[in-house]
Amino acid sequence: MKLTVVLTIVASILFAVACGGGRDADAPAVAVKAIAPTDAPEPTSAPNPVSSQSPTPPPISMVLDTVSPELLSCVKTALGDELYDAIFTGRQDAVAEQLGLVLPCILQYPQESNAIMEMFGLDMGTIMAASTPIPNTEAPNPTHTPIPQPTNIPEPTPTKVAWDVLVGDVEPVHGKGVPPKAGSGLGPWATRIMLASSEDGIYFERTGEIVADQAGVPNMILDHDGRIRVYYVAWQQYGSEGGADGNFIAVAVRTSPDEWAYHRVNVIGGSFKSSLVDPYVVTLEDGRYRLYFMADTGAFNLRIFSATSEDGVHFVIDKGERFGSGDPVYDPAVLKVGSSWQMWMGPDGLSSATSSNGLEFTSTGPFAVDGRSFMTWSAVSLPSGGYRLYGNFPGPGGSGDISSVFSEDGENWSIEVGARLTDQGADPALESNFAADNGLAISSDGTYLLAYLVAIP
């Protein structure tokens, strides 16, 4: 039955994309680009007209070797039980518009998905293009009128049209938002993320650049293409529309020295009682991305989970939890140290953990340096060797300044003298109430970039 489900849902959705089937007559068509071959030989006889009906999907036996329980589970989670069952039982057809729902599954399991797509003569570039409507300035063609094709034409090489991380899908907001209720205090509706830079990672200067308003908990990475990305918690204002306010994870991708593309991060899977917040993304050696985040499993049981992605925007949840204890944990920071992974968490650095694979973590207790609790917000491997954590010392004798600690081996840490950034020298027209929350990455030219959090004046 599982094989039947995958064939019915995944293959039929891909089939619908290729054939344009399953759409209402008045629904906008999803454009699928095709490449016409050049220098095609003239057909020796008139081609047989192609039937106006959608071809029949291949038999189950053709996909027996392409299906896994993991892909099945991903598709079911993406579509939801109701839609999944409706398609499987035949009460509803799979349509091209549903491709966006299962796209992360296709990206997560490319080998199996490629095998299915090849049965229909599709490729990942066509699938990616098909999942995004393309404006059509020409007169529309009839939806179900196929074009006869000549025989014995060499098969063209399809153009690979990749999903474009440089084109945003979220319009950034400006200024303060409205808090969820009176007296809510300082939250993501009233904070902004700004940038500072440094040549050595010690002495930082403000750039005056605003990355995002109504944003919090910044995390910065250098992605696999050498671009700077800032992940953060974005404030979503639904109250004016009669819905509930809330947070979502977003990412700003630097497209030029002074421009960003903004995306809503999509995470498929999981059953949580709250929004996913406190993002911390790491790059993996196989070219993927892993997102660590906090979510509430119920009764304020805050734990750390993760999800994995091919592009750093569309994620599929990893099974199980990464870390949890009897007390709430949040704000994870993660770093690969040698062959192991280290995680530091709040509140106030009261938890830390280690893992051999980045998925199964074992507690190593509270994190302290020279006897002082240290709250880690960002962690980095240094080009010259060693590791540095950026954060703050909470509690008595601490401050809201951004400080740092250093280690040669990732186990023995020492305090670095002075502060990396303080509220001194801030432009009052741009920022107030400086906070220690930060994200740091080393750009491809060796510059240290620091995303830090302030209140919007």
Mean pLDDT, 10 residues at a time, over the chain (457 residues)?
Answer: 49 50 38 37 42 43 52 71 68 60 62 53 45 38 43 40 74 88 76 98 98 97 98 77 70 95 92 86 98 88 94 95 88 97 95 96 96 97 98 84 97 97 95 94 98 97
What is the structure's pLDDT at 140? 41
| Together in a domain, 332 and 446 | yes
Tokens of 96: 């091209």
What is the structure's pLDDT at 111? 55
| Together in a domain, 410 and 286 | yes
Tokens of 349: 């650095």
| Together in a domain, 119 and 205 | no
Four-point Cα dihedral 271, 273, 279, 284, nearest 10: -20
d(CA 216, CA 190): 9
| Together in a domain, 331 and 212 | yes
CB 283 within 8 A of CB 292: no
d(CA 251, CA 261): 8
Instruction: Count how many domains the chain has.
Output: 2
| Together in a domain, 301 and 433 | yes
Closest CA relative to residue 184, chosen from 237, 143, 133, 230: 237
d(CA 94, CA 410): 51
CATH code of residue 272: 2.115.10.20
| Together in a domain, 114 and 196 | no
| Together in a domain, 215 and 283 | yes
Please identify, among 114, 130, 146, the residue that sits at the C-terminal boundary of a domain: 130
Four-point Cα dihedral 294, 307, 290, 173, nearest 10: -60
CB 438 within 8 A of CB 378: yes
What is the structure's pLDDT at 157? 40
Q: Give the structural domain span for 343.
A: 188-455
Closest CA relative to residue 11, chosen from 118, 152, 110, 89: 118
| Together in a domain, 117 and 202 | no
Collect all residues with Cβ–Cβ distance below 8 Å to 439 and sequence separation of at least 6: 218, 219, 220, 230, 231, 232, 377, 378, 450, 451
Please identify, among 112, 130, 148, the residue that sits at the C-terminal boundary of a domain: 130
- Is the residue at 251 inside a domain? yes
- Is the residue at 138 inside a domain? no
- Is the residue at 149 inside a domain? no
| Together in a domain, 400 and 251 | yes
d(CA 293, CA 332): 7
| Together in a domain, 283 and 399 | yes
What is the structure's pLDDT at 70? 65
Please identify, among 130, 151, 166, the residue that sits at the C-terminal boundary of a domain: 130
| Together in a domain, 379 and 280 | yes
What is the structure's pLDDT at 183? 55
| Together in a domain, 121 and 206 | no
